[in-house]
Amino acid sequence: MRPDTSPVTPPSPSLDDRTLRLDVPRSAGMRALLRAKDVLERGVAAVSVHDDTPVYDPARFGWTRGVEAGWRDIRAELEALLARRSEMPSFQDILEPVAAINRADDWKTLWLVAMGVESTQMTRRCPRTIELLRTIPGMITAFFSILSPGKHIPRHRGAFNGLLRYHLGLIVPEPRDRCTIRVGSHVSSWEEGSSLVFDDTFDHEVWNGTDGLRAVLFVDFARPLHAPFHQLNRALLAAGRYTPMMRQTIRNQGRWEERFFADDAATA
Superfamily of domain 28-267: B-lactam Antibiotic, Isopenicillin N Synthase; Chain (2.60.120.330)
| Cα 164 from chain centroid (whole Å) | 9
Q: What percentage of the chain exceeds 70 in pLDDT?
A: 88
Nearest of 234, 208, 216, 183 to residue 67 by alpha carbon: 216
Give the separation between CA 195 and CA 192, rounded to whole angstroms: 9
Q: What local confidence, expressed as pLDDT, does residue 251 receive?
A: 94
Give the separation between CA 224 and CA 263, rounded to whole angstroms: 42
Mean pLDDT, residues 80-100: 95
Contacts of 17 (CB under 8 A, 6+ apart): 203
Give the separation between CA 229 and CA 44, rounded to whole angstroms: 8
What does pTM read for this prediction?
Answer: 0.89
Q: Coil, strand or helix: which one is 136?
A: coil
pLDDT tens figures, 107-158 = 999 999 999 999 999 999 999 999 999 999 999 999 999 999 999 999 999 9
Q: What local confidence, expressed as pLDDT, does residue 21 receive?
A: 46
pLDDT tens figures, 6-50 = 433 334 334 444 544 445 556 887 778 788 888 999 999 999 999
Q: Could you tell me the sign of the dihedral formed by the alpha carbons of 64, 159, 161, 16, in that order? A: positive
Q: What local confidence, expressed as pLDDT, does residue 36 receive?
A: 86
Q: What are phi and psi of 47, to 5 degrees?
A: -105, 15
